[in-house]
Chain A
């Protein structure tokens, strides 16, 4: 069985209808479980106090803000190279989700930064590249809305997505090579020296799993809607010609 089978809208609709309830259940259980665990059952940090509880929202949102754009990059490239409509529609479907997660990461970061850094905002490399990524999401969504021809819209938004990927990558790695920033390094690392305590790490991993499942669920729901919109437009066009 080839991956390209899912480029067929009918096959995509059949398969997504089957997996959707599983991802919905996983998203619900893991997101609620991770956030409840983190909010109610973890202790305050000796330095950050109770603001450490913001990590369960901020880290998964920031991870998804970047990775949603990366998913859009892959599907945009598939569209540009192989002209599969489902992949262009999946990129379109993912953009408002990525935008929402970017906004959550920016807001929770600012609210955490005020008591910890003494400022809501700093023109730090990671924060700035995150803000530019947020603006790219807005531009990407606006471009889809502004162009009537769906294939032209898919072409132009794909090019925009490739350009914006620079800022998605910068958002992730800026802290590693721009040392003058306020933002600390990665909260979770495979390096044993940099581990956060398990008391915080376990609910954080659960929350991340929940946010990923939520992202997949919403992408599937919204892509199914976009496929139906295409079919609806095709049927209405045929009706007008008859």
Chain B
């Protein structure tokens, strides 16, 4: 499945591993914080009888 990378396999696989891990972490953190803030805002809006913004 993985193409033949020869003597540079470590360099190529490390690059893809690090880059994909960083991108996935960035996306996950952005979505997690977004959901947390949205939940907190809805709670306060409901308490104050405001429409969801």
Contact = CB atoms under 8 A, between A and B. Distances in A.
Given A104-B18, A231-B53, A54 B30 contact: no
Contact of B12 (A10, A53, A103, A224): A53
A74 to B, nearest CB: 21
A111 B15 contact: yes
Contacts of A111: 11, 14-15, 18
Given A100-B26, A221-B30, A224-B34, A107 B19 contact: yes
Contacts of B7: 49, 115
Contacts of A236: 44
Given A54-B12, A112-B11, A232 B22 contact: no
What's the dominant secondary structure at chain A's contact region?
A: helix
B37 A54 contact: no
Nearest to B1: A40
Nearest to A93: B30
- Sorting the interface of chain B by its residue count into under 10, 10 to 19, 20 to 34 or 35 or more gives 20 to 34
B6 A232 contact: no
Interface of A: 10, 13, 35, 39-40, 44, 49-51, 53-54, 57-58, 61, 96-97, 100, 103-104, 107-108, 111-112, 114-115, 214, 218, 221-222, 224-225, 228-229, 231-232, 235-236, 238-239
Given A53-B16, A228-B37, 20 more contacts: A39-B16, A50-B3, A50-B5, A51-B8, A54-B12, A100-B22, A103-B22, A104-B22, A107-B18, A111-B11, A112-B15, A214-B23, A218-B27, A218-B30, A221-B31, A225-B33, A225-B34, A235-B50, A238-B48, A239-B47
The 7 lowest CB-CB distance pairs between A and B, nearest first, are: A50-B5, A225-B34, A108-B15, A57-B19, A54-B15, A232-B41, A50-B8
Interface of B: 3-9, 11-12, 14-16, 18-19, 22-23, 26-27, 30-31, 33-34, 37-38, 40-41, 44-45, 47-48, 50, 53
